[in-house]
Structure 1
Amino acid sequence: MTRKPAAQDTSESTGKPPVVLDEVSKHIIEQLQQDGRRSYAAIGKAVGLSEAAVRQRVQRLLDSGLVQIVAVTDPLQLGFLRQAMIGVTVSGDAQRVADELAGLPEIEYVVITAGSFDLLVEVVCRDDDQLLEVINRRIRSLEAVTGTETFVYLKLRKQTYAWGTR
């Protein structure tokens, strides 16, 4: 239920051109998005390549940093009953505050934004007491933080990792 790690910077901010994928690579990624443990032979059958060719392509995708294969857990099944998105307003350097918040273990996701908030922070906590602790003692205690607004998740209706291939 938590987002998987994303690239730290966009191609725009890194100065690198965006990666252009051919249709076969996109199809391989789609196969892995459906099941990250799918065999190279099964993927090869689906995309029309040999097992060795799929293995090489997947390795190039991994080596380039374009693709990560990770296990995604369900926080509810692990006893983390409270998830929330917290909008954070800061004075001064938002990147410094983002870096500080990214170091907190309860925080799963940190984004520097434009708009009403300077940062959006996703937290996964055992319960409301831990959420209160994170907000009051970990986030609001940072000198540059001038305000927060918390959006508690009631029910997750959709989560997908299928971007970039369609």
Structure 2
Amino acid sequence: MTRKPHEQDSPDAKSPVHVDELSKRIIEQLQQDGRRSYAAIGKAVGLSEAAVRQRVQRLLDSGMVQIVAVTDPLQLGFLRQAMIGVTVSGDVQEVADRLAELPEIEYVVITAGSFDLLVEVVCRDDDQLLEVINRRIRSLESVTGTETFVYLKLRKQTYAWGTR
């Protein structure tokens, strides 16, 4: 079975990995540059290349870490990004799973508060955004409402959390 980039396993789906200070320092190195060599990481954290390779492989196998290329949607021709708050009647997890299957949706989180779900979409243009909201999200039987927050400008996006 091929793993899709947007799929996330439940926290207990894989065996837990002990994350000590050395592993956190390795993760920090990879957050700065996911292409950094094991030798360079080992030098920075005081481990051998083989020890770093082994630790990184455990982190990857556990699902705790993914090494991916992060793109700028604007430079790839995706001119519209938005966060959509979704209210649901019925099974929120079922709706979240259905929304996670949509290729335009990059992020799905179940929330507490004004919305049951928050979903982030990346679209070519406003026509595609309208299609996603109107025909793909609002058409789901359990969806009772949406509120769309269109991104005007991205000021900060980091992936350095989780180790400090």
Q: Same fold (TM over 0.5)?
A: yes
Tell me, which stretches of 5 or more residues in structure 1 are unaligned?
none
Aligned pair count reads 160
Which structure 2 residues correspond to residues 16-95 of structure 1 after superposition, within 5 A?
20-95=18-93
State how far apart, in whole Å, the 1-side matches of 2:14 and 2:42 are.
30
Give the percent of matched residue pairs that are identical in Structure 1 and Structure 2: 88
Unaligned runs of 5+ in 2: none
Partner of 2:137: 139
Task: Check 1:6–1:22 CA distance in 2 against 1; reply closer, same or farther (3 A cut).
Answer: farther
- Give the corresponding residue for 2:113: 115
| Alignment correspondent of 2:10 | 9
TM-score (norm 2): 0.90
- 3-state SS of paired residue (1:104): coil
**Mean CA deviation greater in 57-66 or 118-127:** 57-66
Residue number in structure 1 paired with 2:98:
100
Task: Report the residue type matching 1:88 in the other structure.
Answer: V
Runs of 4+ off more than 3 Å: 4-10, 14-20
Mark the CA change 1:156 to 1:69 in structure 2 (over 3 Å): closer, same or farther: same
TM (norm. structure 1) is 0.89
Q: Is the 8 A contact 2:85 2:148 kept in 1?
A: yes
Q: Distance in 1 between matches of 2:17 and 2:54?
A: 17
